[in-house]
Structure formats: structure tokens, C-alpha cells
């Protein structure tokens, strides 16, 4: 088979999956379900179950799954001590990566991988708890209580972040956002997780791999960069002039373009609507107008559409979420997708080891060190 050469493996088919279909002329589907149907009608926990177990749950299955996630919020004592000792200056993504590694030492995966689905469920529960335990302890010396009557992952995160019951429209917005971010085929972090899984490494190492890759600004960190951009401008005219000036200087505008979507990210319309709804009567409502102006400038000047990260930034900001937590929210969600891919990779595993085209020097004779002159 002749494989077309391309940077970043663009256009190269690296494997097959039954988990999601992306950019195939019909938008985005999770195990055959359209992303718009899921975002409109499902709870994130239903979608997580779908990804990990292969089918949407019946009500009793969903209740058991949700209860396991809730039970999984508890933080072991040794992990608490580790989180207390991490510097306040730590990046939240590094905190999550560390939490996964420590948990992997405390609650080991079985050698036959028979508890892999239980580990995935445990991680869905503990990751928000671990991040917020570290955050509140480092900023105020408070050890948060993980007990809560809030059943949803998004609502629990908001409640523990703000120390108060989450606003209902914020809970719904978080639910939709988590669904949109849950899975996206062979993106960089997912493919990296599958590579780790292909070595038959344990589950926690596979997830830690995904977190490490997602930390980069060209992948998950784009929403943080988008918020930094949006926050620069106080009104529409400033945004219009500022972005045009950036383009003239050939500066990169984060949150735009996507490797597999040439005519726009299908998730964008949903997250944009969320951002608009959350902006109404908000003291910084101008950030939505600024975002729209930036979108229009990019479309007119570069014919580039925003991706999911762009309007996620303002949506999260309107919910009072610190910018440094934007990518960790991505982790809370994408853990379900990573888990599905780890399980799928293991089911019919073959070590992932691509070839490379050598472009270095030709044949060279070895020169003794005494004769080398530089």
C-alpha cells in the first residue's frame, strides 16, 4: 500500500475504531449516535457509559454507574498528602497527571485487565475531587469534603469549586460541554493513549499519557489560549482591530481551524449557543460579542472556522471557572473516550510501531577521537 507523505500524519489511516466517526461527511457520532442528539437529550454519565460499555444504559444500569462514580469521589489518605505537598504554582494538568499516577500505585490494575472498566469509572469520580482538593488546600488551607447530594459530574465540580450549590443552567451547560468533549477518534491524546495501551502497559499509565499530551497548547490547551485572547479586548471594535493586527503580524489565533473539519467543527454551534445563553445578564457579557467579532474576522480574512475550544472559553468563564481549569475539564470528559480506546486497543492488540523516513546524513566513516577536528 502506498501511503501519502504528510506532516503530522495528516490523512494517514492509523487503525480502525468502532467508538466514533469524525468528519466523514456526517459530522460527529459516538458509537453511531449523532452528537447533536446526545448533547440535546443525554446526560454526560449516559454518554460515558456508552463509550466505555458500548451501549446506552437502561435506567438501572445508569443508576448503578452513577453511584459508582459518586463513590469514586473519595480520595485516599496518601493521595491527599501528595496533593497537599504539590506546589501552589503547579499547573492543574500536572496535578491531575500526578493524581492518576499515585492512584495507580494505591489501587493497582489486575494483570488480566479484568477491572479496567471499574478503574475508568473510579477516575471519572476522583479526578474533579483531586483537582479541587489541591486547589482549595493550596489557596485557603481547606480540605474539601467530597460528600455531595449533586449526582452529576459537572454539577459536583461547580459545587465544590464555588462552595455552593451550582446554578441549574450552569449544571446543564457543563453537562453539554462534557458530552461535546468526551470523544474524538484518533486525536493526539487518544492515539498516544492507544500507543501506551498497545505495549500492554497498565490503565493508569495510558490515562497519564493522554493527560500529558492534552496539556499541550496545540491540543487541549487551546481553550486557555482562546480565553487569553478574548480577555484582551473590551469591545467589538477593539477586537476587530486587534485580531486584524495580529493577522498582519502572522500571529497564531488559537481556537480556530481543525485537522479533520474543513467546513467547520460540528460541535461549535452547540457550544456557541451555550456561551450566548450564559452571557445574558452577565457582567462581562461583552466577551460573547468580542468572540463573535473574532469569529467573523477569521472567517472573512482567513476562511477559518472556530473549533470547540473557542466558545468553550467564554462559556466556562461565564460560569466562574478559572482559566487554568479549562483543560482539566477536558480531562474529566475525555477520560471516558480514552478509556473506551484503551479497552478497544487491548481487545485486538498489536504493538503500534510506525516506520519513519530517514533524512539524515549518508554513509560516514568513523573517525578516532584523536583525529577529529571541529
Active-site positions read 219, 258, 309
The C-alpha atoms of residue 196 and residue 238 are separated, in whole angstroms, by: 45
Name the percent of the chain in helix, strand, coil, to the closest 5. Answer: 60, 5, 40
Which of 16-22's residues contact partners 24+ apart within 8 Å by CB, and which partners?
Answer: 17/185, 17/186, 17/341, 17/344, 18/344, 19/51, 19/183, 19/185, 19/337, 19/340, 19/341, 19/344, 20/183, 20/184, 20/185, 20/337, 21/185, 22/184, 22/185, 22/260
Query: 311 CB contacts (<8 Å, ≥6 apart)?
Result: 268, 271, 272, 274, 275, 291
Backbone phi and psi for residue 338, each to the nearest 5 degrees, phi listed first? -60, -45
260 close to 11: Cβ distance less than 8 angstroms: no
Closest CA to 30 of 56, 10, 58: 56
Amino acid at each position: 500500500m502506498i501511503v501519502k507523505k504528510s506532516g503530522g500524519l495528516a490523512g494517514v489511516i492509523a487503525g480502525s475504531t468502532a467508538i466514533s466517526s469524525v468528519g466523514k461527511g456526517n459530522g460527529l457520532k459516538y458509537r453511531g449516535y449523532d452528537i447533536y442528539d446526545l448533547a440535546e437529550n443525554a446526560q454526560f454519565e449516559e454518554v460515558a457509559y456508552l463509550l466505555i460499555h458500548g451501549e446506552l444504559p437502561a435506567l438501572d444500569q445508569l443508576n448503578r454507574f452513577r453511584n459508582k462514580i459518586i463513590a469514586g469521589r473519595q480520595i485516599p489518605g496518601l493521595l491527599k498528602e501528595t496533593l497537599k505537598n504539590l506546589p501552589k504554582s503547579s499547573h492543574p494538568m500536572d496535578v491531575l497527571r500526578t493524581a492518576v499516577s499515585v492512584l495507580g500505585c494505591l489501587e493497582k490494575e489486575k494483570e488480566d485487565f479484568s477491572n479496567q472498566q471499574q478503574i475508568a469509572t473510579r477516575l471519572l469520580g476522583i479526578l474533579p475531587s483531586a483537582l479541587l482538593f489541591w486547589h482549595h488546600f493550596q489557596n485557603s488551607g481547606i480540605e474539601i469534603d467530597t460528600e455531595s447530594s449533586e449526582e452529576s459530574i459537572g454539577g459536583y465540580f461547580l459545587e465544590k469549586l464555588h462552595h455552593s450549590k451550582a446554578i441549574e443552567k450552569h449544571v446543564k451547560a457543563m453537562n453539554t460541554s462534557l458530552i461535546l468533549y468526551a470523544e474524538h477518534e484518533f486525536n493526539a491524546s487518544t492515539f498516544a493513549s492507544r500507543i501506551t495501551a498497545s505495549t500492554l502497559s497498565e490503565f493508569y499509565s495510558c490515562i497519564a499519557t493522554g493527560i500529558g499530551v492534552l496539556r499541550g497548547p496545540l491540543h487541549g490547551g487551546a481553550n486557555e489560549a482562546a480565553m487569553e485572547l478574548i480577555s484582551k479586548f473590551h469591545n467589538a471594535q477593539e477586537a476587530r482591530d486587534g485580531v486584524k493586527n495580529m493577522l498582519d503580524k502572522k500571529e497564531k489565533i488559537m481556537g480556530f481551524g481543525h485537522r479533520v473539519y474543513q467546513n467547520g467543527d460540528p460541535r461549535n454551534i452547540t457550544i456557541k449557543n451555550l456561551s450566548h445563553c450564559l452571557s445574558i445578564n452577565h457582567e462581562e457579557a461583552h466577551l460573547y460579542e468580542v468572540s463573535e467579532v473574532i469569529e467573523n474576522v477569521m472567517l472573512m480574512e482567513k476562511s477559518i472556522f472556530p473549533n470547540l475550544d473557542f466558545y468553550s472559553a467564554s462559556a466556562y468563564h461565564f460560569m466562574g471557572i478559572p482559566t487554568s481549569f479549562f483543560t482539566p475539564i477536558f480531562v474529566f470528559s475525555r477520560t471516558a473516550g480514552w478509556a473506551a480506546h484503551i479497552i478497544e486497543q487491548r481487545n485486538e492488540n498489536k504493538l503500534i510501531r510506525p516506520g519513519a523516513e530517514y533524512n539524515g546524513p549518508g554513509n560516514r566513516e568513523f573517525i578516532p577521537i584523536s583525529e577529529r577536528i571541529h
